[in-house]
Amino acid sequence: MRKPLAIAWKDVRAVYRNPAALAMMLLAPVALAALLGFAFGGSSGFTLSRIDVVVADLDTGTASAGSQSAVPVGRIISDALGSTQLSGLFKVSWVPTAQAARRAVDDNEADVAVIVPAGASNALTGLADRRVTIELYENPTDQVSPAVVAGVVEQLVGSLNGGRAAAATAVRLATSRGVVDAAALQRSAASAAATFGKAAQGAGLAPLVEREPLARAGDQKAAPGVAGQVLAGMMIFFMMFGALNVARGILEEDEEGTLRRLFTTPTPLREILGGKFLSIFLTVLVQIALLLAAGRLIFGTRWGGPAQVVLLTVDGAAVGAGLAVLLISLARTSRQAGSVSSGVVLVLALLGGNFVGSVSDTGVFSVIQRLTPNGWLLRAWITTLNGGSLSDIVLALLLVAAFALVTFSLGLLRFRHRYA
C-alpha cells in the first residue's frame, strides 16, 4: 500500500504546484459563480423588498332583500393583503377613493393600487345585473411588484368566485322545490354565497403561503444564495474537468516512455495503476474541499449538515475519478483524450444543469438531468443547501456511487488489458 500512496502523493503535488492547473480547478469555478451569482441578485440571491400597496375599497357588501349580507369582497381582499401572514411582503395603506389610489401610484408613494369597485359583492353572488372588475393600477416601469400583487388578488377572487356557483346552486335547488318568490330566492342565494365567502375568507390564504416562492426578509439567511447554487454546479463540472486533466497524465507519461519504464520495476502493475487512480481521486477531493471553503468564505454559503457534505464530497470525487479513468482508457493519445473526453464532460455538465445551478422536477429537462451523474449530484447539493437531511439525498448518493463504481471498473479493465 505504501508504493501506491507514494505514487499518488507525487502526482497530487505535481498538480497543485502547477499554476495553470490551479487556475482552472479553483479560480475559474469561483469566478464564474461570482459573476452569475451577482448578476442574479448577489450572494444572498434574489430578494424582494416590501411592496407598497394602496387599497381603495369601494365595496360595501350591500345587504340583500333578507337579513343575510352578500360576500364582503372588498373586506376580504383588504384583510388578506394587510394580514400578518403577508406583512413581510406587503406594506398596505387604505384610501377612500379610486382617484386617491391612482394618485398614490402616480406620485411614487405606492407601487400598486388595488381598487375594489362598488357592487363587487353583489356581482359575485349573482345579485347584480352587471359585471364588475377589480382594478390593479400599477407603475408600468415596475415588472415584479404588480405581478406579485396580481397573483395574490387573483387567487382570492378565484376562491371567492365559488360564491357565484354556490348562489346559483341554491337558487336551482329552491326552484326545484317549488319556491318562486323572488325575495326568497334572493335570500337563498345570498345566504349560500355568504357562507361560502366566510369559509373562503378563513382558508383562502393557506395555499398562498405554502406556494410563496419569495424569501421574506426574516428567512433570507436560511435560503441559499444564487452564487452558492451556481458554485455547486460549477464545482461539479470543474471537478470532472480536473479529474480528466490528471488522468490524461497517464497517457502523457506513456507517450514519453516514463510509464513503461515504471512497469519494468519490481512494483506490480496493479500498484502502479492503483497509485495513478488514487492520485485522481485525491486531487479532486482536495479540489472540492477548497471550493467548499471558498464558497463559505467568499459567498457565505452554508453547505448543509456535516454528514451530507462529507458524503457528497467523497461521492463527487469518486464519480469524477471513475469517469476520468474510463474516458482516458478509451483514448489512444493524450491529444485525443483532451478533445473527445473534454467534449463528453462538457455535454454531461450541460445536460445536468451545472452551468446554471438549477434543477427541474417536471418536464423533459428533469428526465434528462436524472440520466447524468451531474444532475443527481446537483440535486443532492441543492437539497442539502436548502436544509435537506441525509435521508433526502440517499438515492442520489447511491446512484452516483454506482455510476462511479461502474465507470472505474470498466476503465480499470481497459487499462489492465492495455498494459498487460
10-residue averages of pLDDT along the chain (420 residues): 79 79 77 65 54 87 43 75 80 91 91 87 59 82 80 74 61 70 65 57 42 39 63 88 85 82 78 84 89 84 90 93 90 80 88 78 81 92 89 93 93 82
Residues 251 and 123 occupy one common structural domain: no
What is the residue whose three cell numbers read 474510463?
Answer: 326
Angle 233-235-237 (CA atoms, 0-180°, nearest 5)? 75
325-347 pLDDT, tens digit each: 899 888 888 887 777 888 888 89
Last residue of a domain, one of 185, 214, 243: 214
Domain shared by 267 and 397, yes or no: yes
**What phi and psi values does residue 115 have, to the nearest 5 degrees?**
-115, 115
Q: Are residues 312 and 275 in the same domain?
A: yes
Q: Which grid cell is 170?
A: 341554491
Integer Rg of the chain from CA: 32
Q: What pLDDT, on a 0 to 100 scale, did the predictor assign at position 66? A: 40
User: Measured between alpha carbons, how far is 346 from 360 in angstroms, rounded to an integer?
Assistant: 19
User: How many domains does the structure of the chain reveal?
Assistant: 2
E strand or H helix at 217: none
**Are 101 and 54 contacting, i.e. CB atoms less than 8 angstroms apart?**
yes
Compute, in degrees rounded to 10, the torsion defined by CA atoms 168, 172, 174, 177: -170
- The predicted pLDDT at position 381 comes to 93
What CATH number is associated with residue 96? 3.40.1710
- Would you call 371 helix, strand, or coil by DSSP? coil
> What is the distance, to the nearest Å, from the Cα of residue 234 to the centroid of all Cα atoms in its chain?
15
Q: What is the pLDDT of residue 163?
A: 56
Query: Helix crossing, 226-256 with 306-330: angle to 10°?
Result: 40
Same structural domain, 159 and 114: yes
Residue with cell 444564487: 226
Is the CB of residue 44 less than 8 Å from the CB of residue 222? no
Residue 192 sits in the same domain as residue 293: no
Q: Which residues lie closer than 8 Å to 104 by C-beta, 6 or more apart? A: 54, 93, 95, 110, 113
Q: Are 144 and 48 in contact (CB under 8 A)?
A: yes
Within this chain, do residues 80 and 14 fall inside the same structural domain, yes or no? Answer: no
Cell numbers placing 255:
507517450
Q: Among residues 207, 133, 130, 201, which one has the least CA distance to residue 163? A: 201
Which domain does 119 fall in, by range?
A: 51-214
Cα-flanking dihedrals φ and ψ of residue 42, to 5°?
85, -175
| Residues contacting 244, CB < 8 A, separation 6+ | 323, 324, 327, 328, 337, 341, 342, 345
**What is residue 219's predicted lDDT score, i.e. its pLDDT?**
42
Q: Which helix (H) or strand (E) holds 342?
A: helix 342-351
- Residue 159 makes CB contacts below 8 A (sequence gap 6+) with 200, 204
pLDDT of 250 reads: 84
Cβ-count burial 116-142 (b if 16+ within 10 Å, e if not): bbbbbbbbbbbbbeeebebebbbeeee
- Within this chain, do residues 133 and 39 fall inside the same structural domain, yes or no? no
Domain edge (last residue) among 214, 233, 255: 214
User: Which residue, 186, 214, 242, sits at the end of a domain?
Assistant: 214
Residue 97 has what pLDDT?
Answer: 92
Kindly state whether residues 265 and 394 are assigned to the same domain: yes
Cα–Cα–Cα angle for 400, 402, 404, rounded to 5 degrees = 70
How many other C-beta atoms are found inside a 10 Å radius of the C-beta of residue 153?
A: 19
Q: Are residues 137 and 119 in the same domain?
A: yes
Residues 55 and 164 in one domain: yes
Domain identity same for 171 and 147: yes
Separation of alpha carbons 82 and 91, rounded Å: 7
Residues 252, 399, single domain; the answer is yes
- What does the alpha-carbon distance between residue 14 and residue 385 come to, in Å, rounded to a whole number? 33
pTM, full prediction? 0.56
